[in-house]
């Protein structure tokens, strides 16, 4: 027996959020390509902004899916999204500049088939299942690509698997100290999987409000960007990582404060050191 | 020979770290009220039982601990790649991972409680201020111990997986072991302390959790103290046994029979645990006896 | 307070058309793989499919009670099924990866992974019963059967009033261990197949020496094993709708659906994982 999910209405319609999410994520991912055009790594922070945009879209998809009472918890939806997304994302990185578009198409195919399997072979028969799983696989793939771009400056397979190490003053190429070699993709995987399901899970209840949930998603996204930016100090130049870190800190601080203000607005009471209120009959 | 002795020494150290991690994990998840027992904390206001328990709805323990440990390890890996000292790197990584955990805990409490505003459940800012540092402190112990044992497995014992991937695996295993062992103890014994001891909670009592403590109103630090009595230690032993036995059988017996030695020992261990479990089950049936008269098996 | 659209009860019904479509999809994916890489790729894909099916099937054995189990209202372990199975299977993958790195025989590697997963589940299930019996004073009882299928113990009178059972009856314990063995073996099989494939194909793709690509191969294979593990475990969780008492539970009979679902999902993800290292025409 857990909190029953109620009919949740109001706010911006899901399709609008989806379109806005797709467009802004792809735009931010391609803005990281400026790194290649200008020969620096300064624009890596756009990868983090892509993560935030994709997560906002993805958390709303999870809200749509889990409103139907799927029988399992909310976290498993995040896991299946990223489990299918990670494989699509890595294949897409082989396609150099087309990587984000390929990731979108490939993840959509994988998500669609998984949705069909869940709905028809496993007989879940939830109206929104196929579209939701398709969207979530795409969100998973694009979020991971955003993390990769944030931490390494690009989204190509060669860039993700090669790093540098300084031995006796000599800078050598190595596979070990790279995004894939150190398996930082595992960190990105879990960061995204928890961040995508947390906002709906944490705002679950009869008093659910869309603006509060989306603000929380932005906060989770910026928090993930913060720690990913710290990890990126090992892989990209200190100046570029510092830019990402500063943007993430500012973004997180703002969204966290806003989230607290919105929660104060919605809560029954905001008490400090007060006893349990007396309720009739209990 | 020296190689095996070194391996056994490291194995013993990782076993000890795992035991500490397991007990800290269970204590932390009960202070924060995470996982399946938390459904009761969320249900209680809907049944009219308002409370001052920290309602940390951050996924379940396995994925959450998978994240904190993997994050701590990823950060430690990054720091070590920047030529930081290994111990310092693990400490810094754990501190940053705990910061993330604390933020998630606060947003979860505030979010869930704000969504239950219809039932009059208030957000207690003092609960937020006093529980969060305690849960963060316990989480730090768990994360640090897990990342340290992963670093030992990777660095000293030579496992091929890189540090973040190892920490993902052991973080999820830590959460699963701690959650499986500790959840019923917290859920049944502590939350439903007013129910009769020695029986499950009847469905009619759902939501009627204990809200008043020995002195004043119950909060989650009381639950942390309670967990340390048996739940924490049991979870610690569980995870410690898992890590220690897995490493021990591989280090000692892997060379015998080209791998079949460790498989045989593993199967033997599973059989031993099966016998012990059966003994516990039979002991309970004999000593506690049935709740009602033995009925004829009717269908 | 009820869910949005009242969806028809899923039950154990099998949808023959959908199962047929699933099998056709599986054959199409196998065909694509055969077309792209007849020998190495196809072998790897078959291995991945078998591994995925093992995971999906094995997770049905694991006794999971969910939120009611945390209150002593239902038998099983009080954790989510996908993540509990992931914990067991990944512990098995850990052992299997070590054996693979030591260069042992593939059969030994897979069985090592299985034993690792089984050991983790055995210890966990034993400690669960330990806490129920010695910490809470509650004997184990099942709510779904009158007698334990393995030991013959009667269950009804050991069930406390108002509950559906509690703890881990012996058949649930055996189920948990079996589930851990299958899941660990399946995950290790996926890892091994992908590792062998990547070790063979990455040197040519990245024009590097084999020792240099080892970290990448291990990381990629490990990450994909974890990802596919989670996908298969979540699909099984959808199949059993969240909780199951073990192999004696009537819900266990739904396993054929999960076999087809896992096979299709693993084939799909495996094909994409294999395509990563094959030379593609337009890159």
pLDDT digit string (tens) for C158-175? 888 888 888 899 999 999
pLDDT > 70? residue C9: no
Give the chain B residue whose CA is nearest to the CA of C66: B36
DSSP symbols for chain B? -HHHHHHHHHHHHHHHHHHHHHHHHHHHHHHTT-STTHHHHHHHHHTT---------SS-HHHHHHHHHHHHHHHHHHHHHTT--HHHHHHHHHHHHHHHHHHHHHHHHHHHHHHTGGGTPPEEHHHHHHHHHHHHHHHHHHHHHHHHHHHHHHHTS--SS-HHHHHHHHHHHHHHHHHHHHHHIIIIIITTTTSPTTSPPPGGGTT----B-SSSB--HHHHHHHHTTTHHHHHHHHHHHHHHHHHHHHHHHTTGGGGHHHHHHHHHHHHHHHHHHHHHHHHHHHHH--SSPPPP---
State pLDDT tens for residues A143-193: 999 999 999 888 888 888 888 777 777 777 788 888 888 889 999 999 999
State pLDDT tens for residues A119-151: 888 888 888 889 999 999 999 999 999 999 999
Asked if the structure places residue B246 within a domain, the reply is: no
Which domain covers residue C263, as residue numbers? 37-275
Nearest CB to B162: which of A182, A198, A267? A182
Instruction: Determine which helix (DSSP H) or strand (DSSP E) holds A164, and give its type and residue range.
Output: strand A163-167
Backbone angles phi, psi at B97, to 5 degrees: -65, -40
The answer to whether the CB atoms of C235 and A79 lie below 8 A apart is no
Residues B42 and B178 placed together within one structural domain of the fold: yes
pLDDT > 50? residue A1: no
Average pLDDT over residues C225-244: 90
Asked if the structure places residue B249 within a domain, the reply is: no
Give the chain C residue whose CA is nearest to the CA of B202: C162
Please check whether residue C77 is in contact with residue C128, taking contact to mean a CB–CB distance below 8 angstroms.
yes
Residues B234 and B260 placed together within one structural domain of the fold: no
Residue with tokens 């490990």: C222
Asked if the structure places residue B65 within a domain, the reply is: yes
Which domain covers residue B105, as residue numbers? 2-197+206-241
Residues of A in contact with C239 (CB under 8 A): 122
**Residue B218 pLDDT:** 87
Highest mean pLDDT among A245-259, C28-42, C248-262: A245-259
State pLDDT tens for residues B83-117: 899 999 999 999 999 999 999 999 999 999 999 88
Number of domains chain B contains: 2
Residues of C in contact with A86 (CB under 8 A): 223-224, 227
Alpha carbon distance C84, C63 (integer Å): 10
Number of domains chain C contains: 1
- Does the CB of C226 have a partner CB in chain A at under 8 Å? yes
ipTM: 0.93
Could you say which DSSP state residue A78 is in? H
Asked if the structure places residue B160 within a domain, the reply is: yes
pLDDT > 90? residue B208: no
**Residue C164 pLDDT:** 87
Asked if the structure places residue B143 within a domain, the reply is: yes
Asked if the structure places residue C283 within a domain, the reply is: no
Give the chain C residue whose CA is nearest to the CA of A87: C273
The answer to whether the CB atoms of C133 and B284 lie below 8 A apart is yes
**Residue C12 pLDDT:** 61
The answer to whether the CB atoms of A71 and C25 lie below 8 A apart is no
The answer to whether the CB atoms of C80 and B62 lie below 8 A apart is yes
Please check whether residue A263 is in contact with residue A219, taking contact to mean a CB–CB distance below 8 angstroms.
no
- Does the CB of C206 have a partner CB in chain B at under 8 Å? no
Residues B258 and B227 placed together within one structural domain of the fold: no
Residues B171 and B213 placed together within one structural domain of the fold: yes
Asked if the structure places residue C29 within a domain, the reply is: no
Nearest CB to B120: which of A3, A182, A268? A268
- Does the CB of B75 have a partner CB in chain C at under 8 Å? no
């Amino acid at each position: 027996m857990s909190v029953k999910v109620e009919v949740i209405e109001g706010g911006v319609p899901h399709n609008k959020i989806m379109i806005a999410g797709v467009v802004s994520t792809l735009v931010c991912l391609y803005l990281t390509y400026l790194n290649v055009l200008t020969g620096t790594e300064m624009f890596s922070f756009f990868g983090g902004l892509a993560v935030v945009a994709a997560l906002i879209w993805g958390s709303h998809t999870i809200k749509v899916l889990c409103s139907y009472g799927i029988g399992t918890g909310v976290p498993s939806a995040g896991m299946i999204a990223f489990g299918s997304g990670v494989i699509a994302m890595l294949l897409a990185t082989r396609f150099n500049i087309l990587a984000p578009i390929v990731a979108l198409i490939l993840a959509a195919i994988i998500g669609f088939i998984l949705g069909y399997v869940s709905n028809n072979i496993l007989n879940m028969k939830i109206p929104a299942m196929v579209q939701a799983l398709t969207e979530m696989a795409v969100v998973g793939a694009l979020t991971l690509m955003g993390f990769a771009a944030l931490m390494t400056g690009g989204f190509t397979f060669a860039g993700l698997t090669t790093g540098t190490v300084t031995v006796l003053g000599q800078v050598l190429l190595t596979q070990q100290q790279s995004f894939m070699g150190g398996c930082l993709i595992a960190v990105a995987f879990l960061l995204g999987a928890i961040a995508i399901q947390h906002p709906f899970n944490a705002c679950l209840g009869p008093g659910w409000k869309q603006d509060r949930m989306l603000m929380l998603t932005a906060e989770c996204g910026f928090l993930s960007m913060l720690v990913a930016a710290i990890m990126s100090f090992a892989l990209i130049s200190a100046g570029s990582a510092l830019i990402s870190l500063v943007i993430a800190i500012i973004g997180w601080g703002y969204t966290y404060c806003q989230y607290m203000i919105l929660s104060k607005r919605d809560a029954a009471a905001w008490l400090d050191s007060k006893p349990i209120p007396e309720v009739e009959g209990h | 020979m020296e190689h095996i002795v070194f391996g056994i020494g490291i194995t013993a150290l990782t076993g000890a770290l795992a035991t500490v991690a397991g007990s800290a994990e269970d204590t932390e998840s009960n202070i924060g009220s995470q996982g399946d027992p938390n459904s009761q904390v969320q249900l209680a206001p809907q049944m009219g039982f308002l409370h001052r328990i920290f309602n940390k709805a951050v996924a379940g323990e396995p994925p959450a601990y998978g994240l904190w440990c993997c994050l701590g390890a990823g950060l430690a890996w990054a720091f070590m790649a920047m030529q930081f000292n290994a111990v310092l790197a693990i400490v810094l990584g754990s501190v940053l991972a705990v910061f993330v955990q604390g933020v998630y805990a606060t947003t979860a409490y505030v979010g869930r409680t704000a969504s239950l505003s219809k039932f009059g459940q208030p957000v207690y800012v003092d609960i937020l201020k006093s529980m969060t540092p305690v849960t963060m402190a316990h989480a730090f112990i768990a994360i640090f111990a897990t990342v340290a044992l992963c670093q030992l497995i990777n660095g000293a014992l030579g496992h091929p997986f890189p540090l973040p991937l190892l920490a993902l695996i052991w973080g999820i295993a830590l959460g699963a072991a701690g959650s499986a062992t500790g959840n019923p103890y917290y859920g049944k014994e502590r939350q439903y302390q007013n129910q009769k001891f020695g029986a499950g909670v009847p469905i009619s009592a759902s939501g009627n959790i204990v809200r008043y403590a020995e002195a004043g109103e119950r909060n989650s630090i009381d639950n942390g103290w309670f967990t340390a009595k048996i739940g924490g230690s049991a979870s610690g032993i569980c995870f410690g046994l898992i890590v220690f036995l897995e490493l021990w059988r591989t280090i000692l017996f892997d060379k015998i029979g080209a791998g079949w030695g460790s498989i045989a020992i593993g199967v033997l261990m599973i059989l031993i645990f099966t016998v012990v479990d059966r003994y516990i089950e039979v002991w309970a049936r004999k000593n506690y006896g049935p709740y009602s008269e033995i009925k004829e098996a009717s269908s | 307070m009820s869910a949005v659209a009242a969806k028809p009860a899923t039950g154990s019904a099998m949808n023959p058309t959908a199962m047929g479509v699933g099998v056709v999809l599986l054959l199409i994916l196998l065909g694509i793989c055969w077309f792209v890489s007849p020998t190495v790729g196809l072998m790897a894909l078959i291995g991945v499919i078998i591994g995925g099916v093992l995971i999906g099937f094995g997770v049905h054995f694991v006794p999971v009670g969910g939120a009611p189990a945390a209150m002593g209202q239902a038998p099983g372990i009080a954790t989510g099924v996908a993540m509990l199975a992931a914990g067991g299977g990944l512990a098995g993958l850990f052992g299997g990866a070590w054996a693979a790195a030591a260069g042992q025989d593939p059969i030994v590697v897979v069985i090592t992974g299985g034993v690792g997963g089984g050991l983790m589940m055995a210890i966990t299930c034993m400690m669960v019963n330990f806490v129920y019996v010695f910490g809470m004073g509650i004997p184990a009882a099942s709510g779904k059967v009158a007698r334990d299928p393995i030991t013959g113990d009667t269950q009804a009178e050991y069930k406390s009033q108002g509950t559906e059972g509690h703890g881990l009856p012996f058949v649930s314990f055996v189920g948990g261990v079996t589930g851990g063995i299958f899941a660990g073996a399946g995950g290790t099989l996926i890892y091994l197949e992908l590792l062998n494939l990547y070790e063979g194909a990455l040197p040519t793709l990245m024009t590097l020496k084999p020792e240099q690509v080892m970290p990448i191969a291990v990381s990629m294979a490990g990450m994909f094993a974890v990802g596919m593990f989670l996908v298969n475990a979540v699909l099984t969780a959808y199949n059993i709708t969240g909780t199951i008492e073990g192999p004696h539970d009537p819900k266990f009979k739904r396993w054929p659906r999960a076999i087809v679902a896992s096979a299709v999902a693993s084939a799909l993800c495996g094909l994409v994982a294999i395509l990563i290292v094959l030379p593609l025409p337009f890159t």
